[in-house]
Amino acid sequence: MCDRLKILQVFNKYSSYGGEELVVENIDKMLSPYHQMDECLFSSDEWLKQGAPSKLRQVSLMFNNPRSRAALKAKVAQCQPDALLLHNIYPVGSPGIYAEALALDVPVVQYIHNFRPFSVGGTLWLGDRVAEESLQGKYWAEIKAGAWQGSRLKSALFAQVLRHLHRNGWLQAVKCWIAISEFMRAKFVEAGIPAEDIVTLLHPWHMIETEPDNEDSGYYLFLGRLVEEKGVKVLLEAWEIVEKEMGSQCPVLMIGGEGEMENEVNHAADNSPKIKCMGFVKGQAKADLIASSRAMIAPSVWWEPLGLVTYEAYDHGKPMLAASSGGLSETVTDGHTGYTHTPGYAMELAESVIRMEALKPEQRRAMGREGREWLKINADPDQWRDQIAGLIRSVKAR
Instruction: For each of the domains in the chain, give its residue range(s) and CATH number, in order of start.
Output: 6-204+380-396 (3.40.50.2000), 220-378 (3.40.50.2000)
Compute the Cα dihedral for 178, 226, 44, 132 and give only its sign. positive
The answer to whether the CB of 10 falls within 8 A of the CB of 97 is yes
pLDDT for residue 374 is more than 70: yes
Rounded mean pLDDT of 140-154?
A: 96
Least confident of 15-19, 108-112, 227-231: 15-19
pLDDT for residue 26 is more than 70: yes
Compute the Cα dihedral for 104, 105, 106, 109 and give only its sign. positive
Integer Cα distance of 41 and 28 in angstroms: 13
Give the pairing of strands 253-256 and 275-279.
Answer: parallel
* Residue, of 21 and 218, whose pLDDT is higher: 218
Residue 107's pLDDT is what? 98
Residue 2's pLDDT is what? 57
Integer Cα distance of 360 and 56 in angstroms: 63
Radius of gyration, CA atoms only, the chain = 22
pLDDT for residue 1 is more than 50: no
pLDDT for residue 45 is more than 70: yes
Distance of CA 268 to the CA centre of its chain: 27
The answer to whether the CB of 125 falls within 8 A of the CB of 155 is no
pTM: 0.92
Backbone angles phi, psi at 382, to 5 degrees: -65, -45
